[in-house]
Amino acid sequence: MSLIVIVLLALSMLGFTPSHAGDCEWDVSLCKTKHVSTGMCSLETRGMEVQDLGPMEKQENMGFPYYLKVDLLCSFKESSGRVMLENSMTGLTPKAAITFQEPTHPTHFKPQRLEVELSVASVSDNATCGSEKCEFSWYAPMPFVNGSVVQRVKVKSIEMGSQHLPEKSFALNVNGYMVTTEKEETEASFGTEIRAVEGVLRVDNPSRPLWAVVDHAPVLLLPGIPGVKAVLMTATEFQHTSVIEVNIKSSSGSRKCLQMESSMIQETVSTESSLFVRHNQELYQFLGNYSLLPLRVPPSDAWEQVLTSVCVSGLVPVSLPHHGREYFYVLGGGLQSGTLYRAEVYDGDVKFTELLNSFGFTVCEFMTLLNNHPSCHVRSAAQNAQTNVSDIILVELLFHQDQERSYILLTLGAPPSTDAPLPLELSGERVGPPLGVPPVTFGAPPDEQMSVAAPEGEPDLSGEDDGALSSTGRKDVSSTHSQCSSLTEVGGAMLYDSDFNEVEILPEFIIYSQRQRHQERSSQKLKFNGMTFNPSTGILYIWGNSLLCSWEEGQGFWHDSGFPGEQMIKYFTLSYDGTFVFVTEQEELWWGQERTESVFRLRPSQGWNEFSHLQALSGDHSTLTVFYDGDKELQEVLYTVDLDGKGSIVKRKIPVFDILSFSHLPVLSACPFDQEYRVPHVGSFNRLQRYSVAPQLVMSYSELHTTHSLDVYQGLVYHLLQLHAQYIMVIGDPKESPISRICSGVLYEDFCSYLSYNNVSGVNTDSKGHSDITPRLPDRVYLDRGASFSFSLFIRAHKLTLESFGESAVNDIRMFATVPDSKYLKVTVTEKGMVEGQVFPGERLLPFSVMFRTGISPRQCLQQTDHGMVLLGLQSLPVYIGCPPGNRLVFDARTTLQESVRLNRRNFSCLNPDPVTPCFYYKNLFFPFFLIQDVVLGESRKFIGSYTFKVVGGGPYLRKNIRLYSPEEVLRYNSLKYRSKKARIWDVKSCEKGRTSCSVTEEGFLILNATRINGIRWLCQPKSPCGDVLSMNPVGSPRFYFIIEVSNRDTETYCSHIFRFELIVYDLPMSTSRKCYIFLELLAAGQMIIGNLEPLGLDRHGSKPGE
């Protein structure tokens, strides 16, 4: 504190008066590297454009064409530069944490979660400035990694400054739809930008949904601008937005399409690599220019119409990818009404599958023929990707002209298993209150103070039910379990997917119970517009003039109370973090929590009026859309027109819990308890790999960086990520990590020496973590077979009195009972090992969601914090079952070499050793050892499972002679079933006598156990590729490169590890035939020499007879 006082006094002497950093907030912008030195950064507001990054530009920029500029935006008139200088001198130095979203289909590298925390460098804006008050800006390298096009930047300050700024998060994604002109200006590749937004947008336009693949779509499109074929485009989650007029040449229409023509873009869907727009009844695709993604098709030059033979009446998004693929549905219209197509996007290539039965009937044709329905309409579709992909179809039926609508659910795919238990188990253990804490009266009985809602449990409807469901007119639909399937047109052939296996009639009425004065009951006819499925919770939401929820794909429903039946839901949005919102046709905004029974209106409400008053916008404004950002915060995008008629597009955060505290919860606005979580070793479970990098120190008087020192910082980060990318080597070391290799070699010797001389703060990892006390659980948890995740919950109760609630809250106080004022609860989530099969790390994970509820009803427990009002008592934990990302199996070369010397009892050394590939002596037994490396934590452990060992390639003398063997050759060289071929390369010594003691696969490959000493003996039989190798050097021994493939066979894990590595075997012996041949050659040569000596009168010893 004394240091801060001294600095503030120094600032006063320099003419500064203390300002208030609390009135400011963080802001970031992208700057191209060549513009940093000018002080006028060339801002890129549409996202990063790195799709055409060539080798020369990579060399020039050391890999990154952008810098990140960190600013302070202040509400007062003083310049932000002055505030930056003041707070920098008092210790407020920001850091930028950049998180890279793993791609939908990771092919460049294995799936990974990566975060790089960069300390900013203060760079002078004026190169000639030499005073103490030089203006400066904060810069940091803006890295990118191969395969990732979605990035988030979180700016936070060190806790040393006189003022503290809350952290702020930004989306800075790669925009593959921008091109650079000859004038070095950027423009959209799929249309023309409209600068004057007030010419196309109107304040009275209705809001529309934002459809995209959550957390994977780098560019978002918002349609629905009347009178023009234009969309809103953003790569920064509407921090910066452009209005783009789409260059689509629509056809003149067709007689089979019966919809009115319109110039408006009706619907859009954004995926990781492509954009899809619906104009009238035509669907168009535009593939972005993303060199960072493994695209199978070239990028688009113009919009391309897809499904040209189909009248498209609507699109239905699928928000989450599955098994490396993205999906959405297409509804047929016009004369093709009742048809349904599933779109599948894989590495930029799109395939459409029409859902038909085995006789070629559509869903509606099938239902009409089966039940004689004169009218049928496919309302919506959803995808259940919890295990295998299955389709859920919402069909609207009309039995007679004068009857009301009824609805039916069809599911296509594997039937839901309602009896099978889920592979998660929850247990709780009370550790007890800390010593010295006296008990106090509070809450429910001790055994009920904490309840854990597991996925397999029914929703907790602790309050009185406001609604009941009733189904009338239900027909016998058992005959509809017929062979219906989907087909895909591939080269003229029809490929069937699976059968319809479930049909459910939805409730037709909802019966309300009026619990006020007269206990009256009323009913309401249900009407539905769409549905949404959450695969992590297994909840299906069907929405219209009511909101129905089902845990079993339509096998049983419950109704979310609180929503009036006279309104119709227009669109519904999940946060995939436990909450959801929906907007009605009257533009009302409603909010709810998953697995709870009520929804609440945010707008209009008293809380919304308070919120609008605090964040008053000048002029008129209207909502364009609402969505959840990458941090799962609810955001609102608005169009505003100021008093001068200037239009702009702005984004603001909706403080949900602050609004609820005003509108719905005036009694219990304060929580009667506090809670904290103690989570040990977070990095072990959330699998987020972290690097922390700081720039080198500078020796100038001002301590400001120059553009040259900033380039050094750029190079440090570039080399770090380059080494991170190279950390997929299959030959590992127990003590090895990417950081330990950064200066262990000739390649980086000069660079590391320079960094050392300049006192670089350095690079360190921070992934393992310790037992952290946090207000929330991790954002996700990965569990392998039989693994457990445990945490402790500390609950501290408040003393509640009647005065704290008021006279009107007596009925609410009765919910509480006596418990100690502090309590520790230990909760364990255990994977029960019930899933079959093995997968590669991070792939084909099964999502689940575990909900933890503490104390009273979760909506009645709000607490004020520095970040606003937060909700306590209800926590959702996403759990992914499978092989966690960041694990790999590698060859432990060091241990193998050491053990080979010890077990063979003789030393050996390689002539002309290879710096990368280890070498071994042919006559020695080969004892391989392997490691399981955790690249997230930087740890390694000995592999003790079973595995197969196969030689899949090789070549003599040099690495360039290596070739991969065909599957038939791999069998001949490795399988016991092909021993008669005399082509085997190796064998295990312990299996030579008793083959029955050694396990083998169906193909005849030996299964080795890593817990045993496996002495592999090199055979190199005559018909093997290494059976007859001669030395190229008379004084050297022959050598052979082998490509070894190892695959684990143990069942103790869900991980399937398959990797290949090289090794050299030298001093290979000659084959028996060649030895015989050489012996005969030598023998013949000896006979010839003897025969030549006899004519000279010499005996065999070279002497004449008689001498």
Q: Is the model more confident about 705 or about 371? A: 705
- Alpha-carbon gap, residue 936 to 998, rounded angstroms: 35
Q: Are strands 509-513 and 500-505 parallel, antiparallel or unpaired?
A: unpaired
Helix (H, G, I), strand (E, B) or coil at 682: coil
Query: Tell me, what's the pLDDT at 635?
Result: 96
Helix (H, G, I), strand (E, B) or coil at 1072: helix
Q: Is the model more confident about 441 or about 673? A: 673
- Both tokens of residue 1036? 């050297």
- Alpha-carbon gap, residue 472 to 405, rounded angstroms: 12
- Alpha-carbon gap, residue 224 to 238, rounded angstroms: 16
Query: Tell me, what's the pLDDT at 304?
Result: 94
- Alpha-carbon gap, residue 575 to 560, rounded angstroms: 17
Q: pLDDT by residue (tens digit) across 938-963?
A: 788 899 999 999 999 999 988 899 99
Query: Tell me, what's the pLDDT at 632?
Result: 92
- Alpha-carbon gap, residue 66 to 47, rounded angstroms: 10
- Alpha-carbon gap, residue 492 to 246, rounded angstroms: 33
User: Does 456 score more than 50 pLDDT?
Assistant: no
- Alpha-carbon gap, residue 857 to 872, rounded angstroms: 10
Q: How far apart are the first and last CA of the chain?
A: 111
Tell me if 405 sits within 8 A of 505, measured CB to CB: no
User: Does 482 score more than 50 pLDDT?
Assistant: no
Query: Tell me, what's the pLDDT at 450?
Result: 32
Q: Of 107-121, 445-459, 824-838, 1002-1016, which one has max mean pLDDT? A: 1002-1016
How many helices (H) and strands (E) the chain has is answered by 14, 71
- Alpha-carbon gap, residue 544 to 567, rounded angstroms: 8
- Both tokens of residue 710? 């900033």
Query: Tell me, what's the pLDDT at 237?
Result: 94
Q: What is the mean pLDDT of residues 171-183?
A: 86
Gyration radius (Cα) of the chain, Å: 35
Beta strands in 399-527 (DSSP E): 406-412, 424-430, 439-441, 450-453, 467-470, 487-490, 493-496, 500-505, 509-513, 521-525
Give which of 127, 140, 117, 10 is closest to 67, Cα–Cα. Answer: 140
Helical pair 80-89 and 2-13, crossing angle rounded to 10 deg: 140
For the purposes of burial, counting CB atoms within 10 Å of the CB of 1049, is it exposed (0-12), middle (13-18) or buried (19 or more)?
middle
- Alpha-carbon gap, residue 322 to 389, rounded angstroms: 8
Look up residue 71 and give its DSSP letter: E
Q: Is the model more confident about 618 or about 477? A: 618
The mean pLDDT of the chain is 76
Kindly give the residue spans of alpha helices, DSSP state H, lying in 267-382.
363-371
Assign 225 a pLDDT band (cuts: 50, 70, 90): very high
Q: What is the mean pLDDT of residues 594-615?
A: 86
Kindly give the residue spans of alpha helices, DSSP state H, lying in 834-936.
893-904
Query: Tell me, what's the pLDDT at 519?
Result: 44
User: Does 486 score more than 50 pLDDT?
Assistant: no
Percent of all residues in the chain with a pLDDT value above 90, rounded to a whole number:
30
Which pairs with CB-CB distance under 8 Å and at least 24 residues apart come from 199-202?
200/225, 200/227, 200/228, 200/230, 200/243, 201/225, 201/243, 201/639, 201/647, 201/649, 202/226, 202/622, 202/639
Q: pLDDT by residue (tens digit) across 1028-1037?
A: 887 766 556 7
For the purposes of burial, counting CB atoms within 10 Å of the CB of 31, is it exposed (0-12), middle (13-18) or buried (19 or more)?
buried
Query: Tell me, what's the pLDDT at 81?
Result: 66
- Alpha-carbon gap, residue 620 to 202, rounded angstroms: 10
Tell me if 112 sits within 8 A of 689, measured CB to CB: yes
- Both tokens of residue 278? 């619906």
- Alpha-carbon gap, residue 215 to 232, rounded angstroms: 19
Query: Tell me, what's the pLDDT at 1075?
Result: 62
Query: Tell me, what's the pLDDT at 428?
Result: 57
Beta strands in 975-1031 (DSSP E): 986-988, 999-1000, 1006-1009, 1016-1018
Query: Tell me, what's the pLDDT at 63?
Result: 60
Tokens 């909760």, located at residue:
827
Q: Is the model more confident about 792 or about 735? A: 792
Q: What is the mean pLDDT of residues 820-830?
A: 76
Query: Tell me, what's the pLDDT at 268?
Result: 97
Tell me if 130 sits within 8 A of 702, measured CB to CB: yes
Q: Letter for the amino acid at 314?
A: G
Q: How far is CA 1041 from CA 902, 930, 953, 1031, 1044, in A?
A: 24, 19, 8, 14, 10
Q: pLDDT by residue (tens digit) across 649-683?
A: 999 999 998 888 776 654 344 666 777 888 887 88
User: Does 611 score more than 60 pLDDT?
Assistant: yes
Q: Letter for the amino acid at 810?
A: V
Q: Are strands 558-559 and 1039-1048 parallel, antiparallel or unpaired?
A: unpaired
Q: How far is CA 960 from CA 12, 143, 201, 1041, in A?
A: 70, 35, 63, 10
User: Does 925 score more than 70 pLDDT?
Assistant: yes
User: Does 1094 score more than 80 pLDDT?
Assistant: no
Tell me if 835 sits within 8 A of 1054, measured CB to CB: yes
Q: Is the model more confident about 159 or about 348? A: 348
Q: Which residues pair with 279 in a beta bridge?
A: 265, 282
Q: What is the mean pLDDT of residues 21-46?
A: 68
81, containing H or E segment: helix 80-89
Give which of 132, 35, 197, 1104 is closest to 646, Cα–Cα. Answer: 197
Query: Which conformational region is residue 463 in: left (phi greater than 0), alpha (psi within -120 to 50 degrees), or beta?
Result: beta
Beta strands in 594-735 (DSSP E): 599-603, 620-628, 634-641, 647-653, 673-679, 688-696, 731-732
Query: Tell me, what's the pLDDT at 591?
Result: 93
Assign 915 a pLDDT band (cuts: 50, 70, 90): confident
- Both tokens of residue 208? 């529309």
Q: What is the phi/psi pair of residue 714, to 5°?
A: -60, -45
Query: Tell me, what's the pLDDT at 451?
Result: 32
Percent of all residues in the chain with a pLDDT value above 70, rounded to a whole number:
67
User: Does 404 score more than 80 pLDDT?
Assistant: no
Q: pLDDT by residue (tens digit) across 805-822?
A: 333 333 333 333 334 556
Tell me if 634 sits within 8 A of 581, measured CB to CB: yes
Q: Letter for the amino acid at 315?
A: L
**Cβ contacts of 721 within 8 Å, gap of 6 or more:** 63, 116, 143, 145
Q: Poorest-confidence range of 22-26, 46-50, 373-377?
A: 46-50
Q: Poorest-confidence range of 210-224, 325-339, 902-916?
A: 902-916
Query: Tell me, what's the pLDDT at 434?
Result: 34
- Alpha-carbon gap, residue 845 to 1054, rounded angstroms: 10
User: Does 457 score more than 60 pLDDT?
Assistant: no
> How many residues does this entry show for the chain?
1107
Q: What is the mean pLDDT of residues 757-783?
A: 65
User: Residues 745, 751, 752, CA angle at the centre, nearest 5°?
Assistant: 65
Q: Of 150-164, 373-387, 396-410, 524-538, which one has max mean pLDDT? A: 524-538
User: Does 344 score more than 90 pLDDT?
Assistant: yes
Helix (H, G, I), strand (E, B) or coil at 282: strand
Q: Letter for the amino acid at 380?
A: S
Q: Is the model more confident about 482 or about 970? A: 970
